[in-house]
Structure 1
Amino acid sequence: YQIGDDCKPACKDENNNYDVTKEGATLGTMKFYQGSELYIEWHNQHGCGVGHPNLHCQIILQYMSDSDNANLRDGTDQDSAGGDDNDPTEEATAEVARGYHEPFDYYQACIARERNKGLYTADQQIEENGGATSTRQNPNGNGRRRGNQRHGLECPEERDYYPYWHPSPWHDIAILTDEPHTRCDYYRAESQNVKPKGICSDPLYNQADSCTGNGGEWTEVPAFNEPPPDCVGSISSRDNHNGNVRNGHAHYYVWKIPEYLTGRVVLRIRYNISTGDFGIGSLANPKEEGAELTGTRADEFFMDSKFNDPNPGDRRRRTFAGRPAVPIPLAQDPVADWLKLGETSADLSRLLQIQVNTNQYGRTFEDRTHSFMVMERPADVPMSKRIVNYNVRGRRGNIVQVYPSVEYDFIPPELEVEQGTLLHFQWTGSDANNNGNAGNGRAGTDRSNLVQVQSRSETVPLPLEKHTLLFNAAENPGDQAGRKLVDRFAYLDQDGIVTCDPDTNDQNSETNCKQLNGASAYFDGGLVEMKTVGSHHIASTRNNDFTNRSHKASIKVTGISLELYENIALGVGTFCGVVLIIYVACAIHAVRKPGSWLFSRRYRPRILNWVVGKERMARLVEQRRVIVAQQRKEWAKKANAHAVDEEGAEGPAAEVALPEESMTWFQSIKRCFRKCGVGEQQLTTLMYAVLNVLVFLIGFLSNMKGGFHESWAYPIAKAARGQVDVGALASGSAVLQFKLRL
């Protein structure tokens, strides 16, 4: 039974057999920080995904902590929690070798409580003495008929149905479904994270009315007071395939461990399918007269006891006698002339049997993790600092020996994080692998290290001076802390555990440190800040026997991306800053050039009243009057210079104005603006501003999806670049006009 080990160097005896009595055996427990991101992945056998053609599905991720069961623990053997007898006992439950998740009292209440008889059970014969341990999937109950069906101390009714109607120790993390738009609001509202659940003081009764009517007290157990679970559409996967989905990766979910969670924790994943045979309108469940009873739709989500066979257990492999008054989607292995090929109804020559097990064609699967610890963050790491857990998955062996697990690999695959992110490097392994499993180093052991390589196609580690991941050797060659990190991650502190023998080639020798035999299976590299932007490629030197494995990965570090509110603040701040700069520039120009249009009667109050005192303003106004009067005299001289006779002599006849020249369309536009008080300079400024706004909007909208994680900084930067290009174009145009005028 493989739980993480932390023996130094290995949990092995002199015959290389696993020794659970060794110090550190089964103690290689993973430890994660509050608020850190944990990559969870799994395979589900029967497919899922939005719009799946064959089925409906729900994948539910939940956790339990030692605040729900103070004695929460892993088992060190495969014996069932509570004992191996039909009914669990407190004495057997207390045995530390047995795993322990749900509390003992929780199971006792489950088996004593009347099952929910409003549930759909098809034609299954349900054991009525099993309480809530008797379900369509578990019709015999636990320990009442046909041997012990108990799995630890879980409650089968709670396991098979979600959301559950009584209190449960399991907290909801996320729901992945094929119908997110239809079901998610319901799931979030019914989650025990936000909704109280009722229970009777007399465990026999499962409803408030029957409880109080029989002298019991109905209690609403408060909700966990946690955020409602995340609910999203599931990634699509095909049926009957314990393998990867899109992009070559397994099903996964990134869980941000709650900031309020601490202590020992265990995860479970429940996966439910309902085949399309349940859907209303299907051949097995057509929408007929009477198919909808009391307004209840006959689809898989609302199907209840009204659709049960009135004679359960009596139709196994029998000839299908036709649909009863109340529609039953399918019976157990039904037989009929489905194609209507027989000449008469009594003709049995064209019977076909459909392979249907009614306790499985709507079915829930479950898997659980080993327990792990959630720790408070170090005092110098604020909650706002992002922490990503970086681990090793898989175990020793080739692909056949480890199935459905995988061979060694780093996880998350193809990680991409922002500069400044903290990675928590940590992995565990077991010394209890089969000694015959393929692998390198000491037989039966998992060991992993981390070195940097030039590229994913290479296996030879980079020399220290070329390292960039754990520290930047080129920029900080004297960084002793960084050099020690490189040594730790590669050598795993072996020289502090054993006396390494560089000359030995014995693959099973503890002193063969070349093969990492002197290290523990558990390694905690601590928090490492990602400082160097770029792609960093890593490998394990031990697990790269390329006949069947390649323990490599890449970590890409990008520039810092901002949150939405930070991008908004940056945009608003930039705009205000530009406006302020323009204002100051205009004010300075107006003060230095009181004859300019910026000092005119229209703009003077807007630009200068806030920054220029009254006395100085009066002096500047007087200067402007003098300048304007002088300008008018010069304009009059220029106008009179045109008044000449045909011989060029000046005289009274010369005062007659020359005919006006015809105006171009552009001059007409300028004249219209001039009548509105907008001069040529003002019009140019206005056109330039409008052009910049248009260019900015085009650049911003065209690049909204182009940035890292769709950050707003990218479209803002691209739009600003477009404005710079417009500015350069405008400057070039002005220079060209100046040359043409010359």
Structure 2
Amino acid sequence: MKAAVIFLALAVCVHADMYFHNPRGSNNRLDEAKRERNNANRMFDSQNNNRGGYNVGSLYYYTGSVLSLEWTNQHSCADPNNHCEQIVQYTCGDLVRDGATTQTIPDNPVNCVDYDCNNDIEYGMHENYDYYLDCRLRQRNAGLFIADRNLRGKTALFTRQNGNGNRRGYECPEERDYYPYWHPTPWRDVVIFTNDASRCPYYQSESQNVKSRFACVLPPSFLTTDNIRSNKPIIPNTQEGCEEVVSAEGNGTWTEFPPDSRLSAPECIETLWSRDNHLGNTIGGFPISYNWTIPDLTHEHCVLRIRYNISTGEYDGWDSAVNSSIGRTVDSVLNGATVAGQGSPLERRLFSELTDVYERFGFTYDEARERGYVFRQNPVVKVFPDVNEDSNNFGLQLAINTNQFGRTFQDRSHTFAIRARPEDLQDVKIHNLNVRGKRGNIVQVYPGVEYDFVPNRVEMAVDDYIHIQWTGSNTNPNNNDGQGRDGTDRSNVVMLRPPNYPEGDGSAGTASGHWGNSYPAHLDDNTTSLLGLSREDRQNLATLLNMQLGGEMSELDDAGTYYDLGPRKVTRSGTYYFMCSRNNNFSNRSQKGVIIVTETATSQKRIGWSGGTVELNGHTLEFPQAALSTAGQYSIEEFTDKDQLEAMTGVRAVSNGGETVSSYILVSPATQFDSQNGGMAKIVIPVDTSVASGDVTIMRANAASRWEYVDLDTRVEENMAEADTSSGGVFVVNSQINSGLIAGVVVAAFVLLVIGIAFGGLVVYFVVRRDKWQKAKDNTRKFKQKVTRSFARQV
């Protein structure tokens, strides 16, 4: 019978997607008035669907402020379905720009020699022409695994995902596809997400933030028009090759490009879970996000990028053989000849080891080739054994595309500015509140999102600052659903009307506004004054008066696309629900947000296997590497008033006769940490300057509000008390009772010993349990009285 062929859809498909939503991702868009982008090659290689991305709009952020990055990725992370890595980076530079045309910036050697391509501001640009030219003329890394792909060149333009050497802006394809990259790049690392956190030490030590890069610098005479046009590798990628280049003008120079001393290693943490084939939220219904603290590196022209690498289980890019050379270079071994069954036994062995398809099924290499169990384009696999002639002819065709097993996707933001703080904003915490999404219902904007505030839920403390700012567009598709003038994005902020019924949210006091309502509160209702802002600020947020010159404003039509309230100090605690009055119809009726303001300061951070530290006003909770089994959210909240402590946590202040010499702090979660191998966290609490080491002990209230001693050997250095703990809860530093009680016990025991020796009395053992110090103190006092009376009688 003829072979039956059935197509099986695998996890890696032709179009997968990764999209930035805050800051606004471009997906190579500029200002197109249609759903599809004009030019997929404008700035970078995204590998995304032609839809998606937002029209241009730039914001600014103050150094040290907290910005919520949000994105969606189509294929899963943090589950066994594939290998997944995500890397967020940024670059700043005088030439970084969005441009004014959707055309790709030229690279014609004659044009770029006759005039400066770098400075033609009509075109958008991230990496510059010199960077691209170096990539275009540099020898590719010949040790990279390319499966059965036929690369059409030998420079860094040609990779397994870019076999034709296609150009997107001035991006370097080899650098785009691999991380960490081995040559200098303009990109600096923000955070790395990985399914396997044990890779974090490697990622962090290899980051260009902290490790030098080297590259071959050739004399200018090599960069002739003919050499540039040839697309042949004239720049070696090794020190040995570089130093062998000699010309009349000089030799090649293997040059060090050191890291920026102002940067530190990037954070590295486990990936957030996402559902396969679904551009949606993560666990709990929250968007996939990361809170980025804006670095202290000011510039008016910056851009973010996020890259997403997914690899099927059959392709293990971390196999040591994949990026090494055994005999001949790995990529030459794994070209078409080997896939066709030719080549030496070494070549066939290398291929089988790297792809590891057939050994797990117990086949020999020849059996695997006969039955299709080799890593090649669209193989037909014979899943039934050779029982008879008919069954051996039955095959299933797998939809495998070898340039997509592992594959990298990407999105980049439009440009933004990083600015220095004004003098009056030094040493304060600033939270950025922005708007994401664009006009239209979910079908019209997909794979973008509808309007929402970012973050949708803000948690902050009284005296923190909030910076409310957003941008939109006038060139959305005219037939997209929405209120107001066709094609326009507009937003505002108004308090929602008071709750219809009490919800009992006591975490930040009385709730103002209600999620379920769609009407705003009255502007003059000072009992629900948004965040304690002035009436002028509340009016400006509602009507945008400080950012527009008049016109018809009932639906904000005559407001501009950009709004900036500027940083404002939050002076009232409470829970505040707010909305946008314009984007509130049936198709997009939920542009709403909530801000929870506590009287006490709070700091939180997601920490996993690689460890990390939560810091707040000198208090720290530090997890060493491998202390935690899984990633989770950890926070510190400070209480300076014991009545407030009891009201907010239900824990009564410690009352064991000692004196508290620090603030109370709540470490959440208040339960046992998700640790492995008995992992512990170090907790550090500032204490009064008069306290000396040995006079204090850190105490903790457990879930039953019972106080216990965390560590009898609490360490004090430079007015900081520290101890190790395996769980959260309420902590405080206590003095006097530690030394006083221990001294009492020692004196009593010594008196007993003397009496026992002198009069043949009994030896008494006195045991003190840490969780019963007060009882022990009372017993000690009674025992000393009894010993004193007995000693008097003996005398």
Q: State the TM-score, normalized to the length of structure 1.
A: 0.65
2:478 to 435, 440, 444: 435
Q: Can you give the 5+ residue segments of structure 1 that lack an aligned partner in the other structure?
A: 5-10, 14-25, 142-148, 281-295, 474-480, 499-510, 583-688, 705-709, 731-742
**Mapping of residues 408-419 of structure 1, within 5 Å:** 408-419=451-462
Q: Are residues 436 and 132 of structure 1, via their aligned partners in 2, closer, same or farther at CA, if it must alter by over 3 Å?
A: same
Task: Give aligned pairs, total.
Answer: 545
Q: Are residues 361 and 718 of structure 1, via their aligned partners in 2, closer, same or farther at CA, if it must alter by over 3 Å?
A: farther
- Tell me what 1:621 maps to: none
- Distance in 2 (CA, whole Å) between partners of 1:254 and 1:213 is 47
Question: Do structure 1's residue 561 and structure 2's residue 601 form an aligned pair?
Answer: yes
Give 3-state SS (helix, strand or coil) of 1:524's partner: strand
Q: Give the superposed CA RMSD.
A: 4.5
**Cα contact 2:324–2:330 (8 A) shared by 1:** no
TM-fit CA distance, 1:54: 1.9
**Cα contact 1:320–1:336 (8 A) shared by 2:** no
**Cα contact 1:567–1:712 (8 A) shared by 2:** no
Question: Do structure 1's residue 79 and structure 2's residue 103 form an aligned pair?
Answer: yes
Q: After alignment, is 203-212 or 255-264 more displaced? A: 255-264
1:115 to 124, 140, 143: 140
Q: After alignment, is 252-261 or 150-159 more displaced? A: 252-261
Q: Are residues 277 and 12 of structure 1, via their aligned partners in 2, closer, same or farther at CA, if it must alter by over 3 Å?
A: closer
1:34 to 63, 66, 71: 63
- Tell me what 1:424 maps to: 467
- Tell me what 2:492 maps to: 449
TM-fit CA distance, 1:337: 4.6
Q: Are residues 470 and 261 of structure 1, via their aligned partners in 2, closer, same or farther at CA, if it must alter by over 3 Å?
A: farther
1:391 to 431, 434, 440: 434
- Distance in 2 (CA, whole Å) between partners of 1:497 and 1:12 is 27
Letter in 1 for 2:706: G
Q: Are residues 483 and 174 of structure 1, via their aligned partners in 2, closer, same or farther at CA, if it must alter by over 3 Å?
A: same
- Tell me what 2:175 maps to: 158
TM-fit CA distance, 1:123: 1.4
**Mapping of residues 220-619 of structure 1, within 5 Å:** 220-225=256-261, 226-279=263-316, 297=319, 308=331, 310=333, 312-313=335-336, 324-328=348-352, 329=355, 330-343=374-387, 349-382=393-426, 384-453=427-496, 454-467=513-526, 482-493=534-545, 497-498=549-550, 511-561=551-601, 563=615, 566=618
Q: Are residues 399 and 524 of structure 1, via their aligned partners in 2, closer, same or farther at CA, if it must alter by over 3 Å?
A: same
| Deviations, residues 160-209 of structure 1 (Å, cap 9, x unaligned) | 0100111000001110000112x100111111111110011136100001
| Structure showing the higher helix proportion among its residues | 1
**Mapping of residues 605-684 of structure 1, within 5 Å:** none
Question: Do structure 1's residue 60 and structure 2's residue 103 form an aligned pair?
Answer: no
Q: Are residues 494 and 256 of structure 1, via their aligned partners in 2, closer, same or farther at CA, if it must alter by over 3 Å?
A: closer
TM-fit CA distance, 1:312: 2.4
- Distance in 1 (CA, whole Å) between partners of 2:702 and 2:202 is 45
- Distance in 2 (CA, whole Å) between partners of 1:545 and 1:260 is 41
- Distance in 1 (CA, whole Å) between partners of 2:132 and 2:395 is 45
Give 3-state SS (helix, strand or coil) of 2:349's partner: coil
TM-fit CA distance, 1:230: 0.6
TM-fit CA distance, 1:213: 2.3
Q: Are residues 279 and 317 of structure 1, via their aligned partners in 2, closer, same or farther at CA, if it must alter by over 3 Å?
A: same
Give 3-state SS (helix, strand or coil) of 1:278's partner: coil
Q: Are residues 317 and 344 of structure 1, via their aligned partners in 2, closer, same or farther at CA, if it must alter by over 3 Å?
A: farther
| Deviations, residues 645-681 of structure 1 (Å, cap 9, x unaligned) | xxxxxxxxxxxxxxxxxxxxxxxxxxxxxxxxxxxxx
Q: State the TM-score, normalized to the length of structure 2.
A: 0.61
TM-fit CA distance, 1:268: 0.3
Q: Are residues 335 and 520 of structure 1, via their aligned partners in 2, closer, same or farther at CA, if it must alter by over 3 Å?
A: closer
**Cα contact 1:533–1:559 (8 A) shared by 2:** yes
TM-fit CA distance, 1:371: 0.2
- Tell me what 1:615 maps to: none
2:125 to 91, 95, 100: 100
TM-fit CA distance, 1:717: 11
- Tell me what 1:43 maps to: 72
TM-fit CA distance, 1:342: 3.0
- Distance in 1 (CA, whole Å) between partners of 2:32 and 2:388 is 73
TM-fit CA distance, 1:354: 2.1
**Cα contact 1:703–1:714 (8 A) shared by 2:** no
Letter in 2 for 1:195: K
What percent of counterpart residues are identical?
A: 35
- Distance in 1 (CA, whole Å) between partners of 2:97 and 2:286 is 30
Letter in 1 for 2:292: W
Q: After alignment, is 303-312 or 207-216 more displaced? A: 303-312
TM-fit CA distance, 1:262: 3.1
TM-fit CA distance, 1:493: 1.3
- Distance in 2 (CA, whole Å) between partners of 1:703 and 1:76 is 62
Letter in 2 for 1:310: V
Give 3-state SS (helix, strand or coil) of 1:138's partner: coil
- Tell me what 2:162 maps to: 138
TM-fit CA distance, 1:694: 10
- Tell me what 1:218 maps to: 254
TM-fit CA distance, 1:341: 2.8
Q: Are residues 273 and 40 of structure 1, via their aligned partners in 2, closer, same or farther at CA, if it must alter by over 3 Å?
A: same
**Cα contact 2:484–2:557 (8 A) shared by 1:** yes
Q: Are residues 311 and 460 of structure 1, via their aligned partners in 2, closer, same or farther at CA, if it must alter by over 3 Å?
A: closer
- Distance in 2 (CA, whole Å) between partners of 1:208 and 1:581 is 62
Q: Are residues 157 and 250 of structure 1, via their aligned partners in 2, closer, same or farther at CA, if it must alter by over 3 Å?
A: same
- Distance in 1 (CA, whole Å) between partners of 2:139 and 2:584 is 56
TM-fit CA distance, 1:446: 0.5
**Cα contact 1:34–1:262 (8 A) shared by 2:** no
Letter in 2 for 1:47: S
Q: Are residues 175 and 534 of structure 1, via their aligned partners in 2, closer, same or farther at CA, if it must alter by over 3 Å?
A: same
TM-fit CA distance, 1:103: 1.2
- Distance in 1 (CA, whole Å) between partners of 2:325 and 2:72 is 28
Question: Do structure 1's residue 167 and structure 2's residue 184 form an aligned pair?
Answer: yes
